[in-house]
């Protein structure tokens, strides 16, 4: 095991707490190697018990200040530094509408929803279509739990996520030529995959509004734009919906949008990615390195443009 | 005997006297670079500093290039003959910013020449930027007094390339945008204004009425080019983008408004100047013949 520790010099995910998340990687290494982390590991196991090492990101965590100040969120602005503007977005009360091909459409308050699921922490690599990446600890629950709760009928083939449109707090919505609301979707099979996650927290804190707070989707094997933020509606549909970016530029952003280093974006290479807040550029991996968990979803789908 | 170039050419005129205009221009041209360096070293440029710096330098390079193209129009409209003293400096500053833009790109790609070559060949927007940069390098290399003397008439022909370089730079800037082209669209609008101005017959170029008309046409052209880009490059409803130009209360000033306002200001100043001149104050309204290039 110690060899693994050397190779992936970050802590195993079970050891991560908010303070450690912001530690420099050298200190994290020192902590892990010095055995100082042992107590913490045990403590963390006791309360959150994530399956140790299952989704070991193999990379140091991104510093929190970078993950929370460099965001794509067109509802606020097309600039990356929208985090200030996003602070005004009210996060409470928040309700989620569940409808479509479900046995009982309903509206559920976020705090009630959280009572019905088991919350856990997961460290995922996140890959943006713009060739940058971060590694962050999300808290939340598997999307599969939400699907189970919604109780879809057999006709449901897609799960469709819709982002809030609050023109009073989201100045970007004034760009009326964009196809608001932001809509993204996955197939029912993708939604059932163990990696598909609904996040309500980041770095052990409530999910900040600029990162999609209070509730967002996280699909670590797909480009970031698939993971809708500030979700207000989840619809179970029979047919594939028109999604936001696919509507804008179908030749550049597709429905599947699985990460693939060998499929360049028409205007830039996807072969490598720049890690936020560092001088490191690292090779991009197929399905963002999660092929083991997700490749099976796409077996036989040869007619689809899976990687765009 | 060959004259050895001295650094002081940057702030002395041809006769060797100190030129406040040149010195001030030199200082002003370093401001964006200094501001960038200061921000970078003091507060940092955020999560992707290299990319932020690449964008900043690309935008400033293009702005300065377009500014250098505005200097002979300024002479035609305002009789600002001394402007020609600084045109070369502005052009070379643009070339320097864009050289730095490319250098940081190379740094961002890990200075791997083969990989960079491969990227440039395979990404159309990079191939276009590269072509523009090669053109710019040719212009910079032929900007010495000795080269100007040597090339004579051919120098003028060669340096018309600057319009192609600017057009390619604009196209590169438009293509790299993910979907929001506001910044490049503003620059496209200014370029359109400058090109329309060049198309005017010389004796009409300082006529106030013509300049007012030009402001209107340039603003309309900006709106048209912006909407046209959305129509060609995206699936967004270009009609809505076009309509947004008429609803500033909803959308704020669009690129057409920025271009229109600056062009309008020029027209108003030109009008004031011609009224002023007609009141009997001295000063020919037509520009005096001036030696080119300070
Ligand atoms: C080999 C030459 C060049 C290379 C490799 C290059 C590379 C780049 C890159 C990588 C970007 C940012 C794209 C992104 O973040 O996705 C960019 C943006 C830009 N470049 Fe270049 N460039 C080159 C030449 C030029 C030239 C000659 C000009 C101007 C005449 C120029 C003007 C710009 C502008 C205006 C932007 C957009 C800035 C913004 O809107 O934020 N580039 N370039």
Instruction: State yes or no: pLDDT of A36 exceeds 90.
Output: no
Q: Over chain A, what is the mean pLDDT?
A: 85
Q: Which of A176, A248, A277 lies at the smallest CB-CB distance from B47? A: A277
How does pLDDT run across B122-162, given as a tens digit for each residue?
A: 999 999 999 999 999 999 999 999 999 999 899 999 999 99
Measured by CA distance, the residue closest to atom 21 of ligand 1 is: B58
How distant, in Å, are the alpha carbons of A149, A211, A232 from that of A229?
20, 7, 9
Concatenate the DSSP letters of all residues of A148-215 into one string: HHH-B-TT--EEEEEE---TTT-GGGG-TTS-PSPEEEEEHHHHHSTT-EEEEEETTEEPPGGGTTT-
Q: What integer pLDDT is reported at residue A67 of this predicted model?
A: 97
Angle between helices B84-108 and B20-42 (to 10 degrees): 20
Domains detected in chain A? 1-61 (no CATH), 62-291 (3.90.420.10)
Range A293-302, long-range pairs (CB < 8 A, 24+ positions) = A293/A193, A293/A194, A293/A195, A293/A221, A294/A190, A294/A193, A294/A195, A294/A221, A294/A258, A297/A187, A297/A189, A297/A190, A297/A193, A298/A256, A298/A258
Can you read off the two tokens belonging to residue A127? 């890959």
Q: Residue A65: which of A184, A188, A282, A211 has the closest Cα?
A: A211
Which one, of B160, B155, B190, lies nearest residue B62 by Cα? B190
What interface predicted TM-score (ipTM) does this complex get?
0.83
Minimum-distance CB partner of A70 among B47, B110, B241: B47
Q: What DSSP element (H or E) covers B5?
A: none
Tens of pLDDT, residues B206-245: 899 999 999 999 999 999 999 999 999 999 999 999 999 9
What separation in Å is there between the alpha carbon of B96 and the centre of ligand 1? 13
pLDDT higher than threshold 60 for residue A77: yes
Q: What is the pLDDT of residue B282?
A: 52
> Domain extents for chain B?
1-176, 180-294
Contact residues for B48 (Cβ-Cβ < 8 A; gap 6+): A70, A132, A274, A276
Q: Compute how many other C-beta atoms are within 10 angstroms of the C-beta atom of residue A42.
A: 11
DSSP label at residue B10: G
- Which pLDDT score, from 0 to 100, does residue A14 have? 39
**Residue A60 to residue A80: CA distance in whole angstroms:** 23
Q: Closest Cα to atom 15, ligand 1: which residue?
A: B51
User: What is the Cα B189 distance to its own chain's centre?
Assistant: 11
- Residue A21 makes CB contacts below 8 A (sequence gap 6+) with A61, A64, A137, A203, A204
pLDDT at B272: 93
Q: How far is CA B151 from CA A207, B25, B144, B291, in A?
A: 64, 27, 11, 17
At A1 the pLDDT is: 27
Which residue has 């080019």 as its token pair?
B225
Residue B281's pLDDT band (cuts 50, 70, 90): low
Residue identified by tokens 């967004």 is B236
Tell me the shortest Cα–Cα distance from A1 to chain B, in angstroms.
33
Q: What angle do CA A131, A133, A139 make, to 5 degrees?
A: 145
The band of B278, judged by pLDDT with boundaries at 50, 70 and 90, is: confident
Q: Do A248 and B235 touch (CB under 8 A)?
A: yes
Half-sphere exposure of B166 (CA within 13 A, CB side): 25
Q: Is the pLDDT of residue B114 over 60?
A: yes
Chain A nearest-CA distance from B83, in A, is: 36
More confident residue, B3 or A108: A108
* Amino acid B4: pLDDT: 64
């Amino acid at each position: 095991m110690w060899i693994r520790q050397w190779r992936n010099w970050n802590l195993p995910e079970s050891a991560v707490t908010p303070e450690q998340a912001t530690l420099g990687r050298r200190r994290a290494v020192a902590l892990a190697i010095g055995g100082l982390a042992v107590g913490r590991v045990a403590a963390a196991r006791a309360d959150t018990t994530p399956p140790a090492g299952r989704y070991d990101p193999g990379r140091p965590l991104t510093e929190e200040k970078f993950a929370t100040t460099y965001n794509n969120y067109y509802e606020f602005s097309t600039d990356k530094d929208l985090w200030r503007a996003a602070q005004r977005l009210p996060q409470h009360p928040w309700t989620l509408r569940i409808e479509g091909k479900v046995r009982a459409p309903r509206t559920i308050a976020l705090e009630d929803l959280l009572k019905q699921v088991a919350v856990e922490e997961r460290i995922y690599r996140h890959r943006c279509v713009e060739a940058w990446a971060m590694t962050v600890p999300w808290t939340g629950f598997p999307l599969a739990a939400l699907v189970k709760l919604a109780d879809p009928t057999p006709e449901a083939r897609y799960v469709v996520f819709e982002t809030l449109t609050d023109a009073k707090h989201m100045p970007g919505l004034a760009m009326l030529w964009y196809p608001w609301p932001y809509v993204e979707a996955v197939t029912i099979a993708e939604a059932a995959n163990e990696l598909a996650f609904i996040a309500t927290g980041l770095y052990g804190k409530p999910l900040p509004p600029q990162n999609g707070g209070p509730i967002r989707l996280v699909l670590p094997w797909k480009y970031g734009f698939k993971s809708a933020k500030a979700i207000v509606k989840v619809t179970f549909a029979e047919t594939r919906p028109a999604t936001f970016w696919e509507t804008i530029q179908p030749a550049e952003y597709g429905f599947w949008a699985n990460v693939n280093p060998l499929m360049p974006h028409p205007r830039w290479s996807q072969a490598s990615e720049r890690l936020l807040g560092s001088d490191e550029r690292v090779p991009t991996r197929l399905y963002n390195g999660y092929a083991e968990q997700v490749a099976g979803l796409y077996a036989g789908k040869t007619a689809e443009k899976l990687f765009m | 005997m060959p004259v050895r170039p001295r650094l002081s050419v940057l702030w002395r005129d041809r006769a060797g006297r100190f030129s406040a205009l040149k010195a001030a221009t030199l200082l002003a041209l370093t401001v964006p670079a200094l501001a960038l360096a200061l921000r970078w070293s003091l507060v940092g440029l955020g999560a992707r500093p290299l990319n932020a710096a690449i964008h900043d330098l690309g935008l400033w390079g293009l702005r300065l290039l377009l500014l250098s193209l505005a200097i002979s129009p300024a002479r035609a409209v305002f009789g600002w003959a001394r402007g020609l003293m600084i045109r070369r400096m502005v052009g070379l500053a643009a070339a320097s910013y864009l050289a730095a833009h490319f250098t940081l790109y190379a740094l961002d790609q890990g200075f791997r020449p083969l990989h960079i070559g491969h990227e440039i060949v395979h990404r159309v927007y990079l191939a276009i930027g590269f072509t523009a940069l090669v053109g710019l390098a040719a212009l910079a290399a032929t900007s010495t007094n000795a080269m100007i003397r040597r090339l004579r008439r051919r120098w003028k022909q060669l340096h018309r390339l600057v319009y192609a370089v600017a057009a390619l730079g604009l196209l590169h800037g438009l293509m790299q945008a993910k979907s929001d082209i506001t910044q490049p669209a503003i620059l496209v609008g200014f370029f359109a204004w400058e090109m329309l101005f060049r198309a005017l017959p010389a004796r009409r170029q300082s006529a106030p009425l013509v300049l007012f008309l030009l402001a209107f046409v340039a603003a309309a052209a900006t709106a048209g080019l912006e909407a046209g880009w959305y129509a060609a490059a995206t699936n967004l409803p270009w009609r809505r983008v076009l309509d947004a130009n008429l609803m500033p209360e909803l959308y704020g000033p669009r690129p057409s408004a920025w271009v229109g306002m600056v062009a309008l200001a020029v027209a108003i100043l030109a009008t004031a100047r011609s009224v002023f001149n007609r009141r009997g104050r001295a000063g020919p309204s037509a520009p005096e013949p001036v030696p080119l290039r300070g």
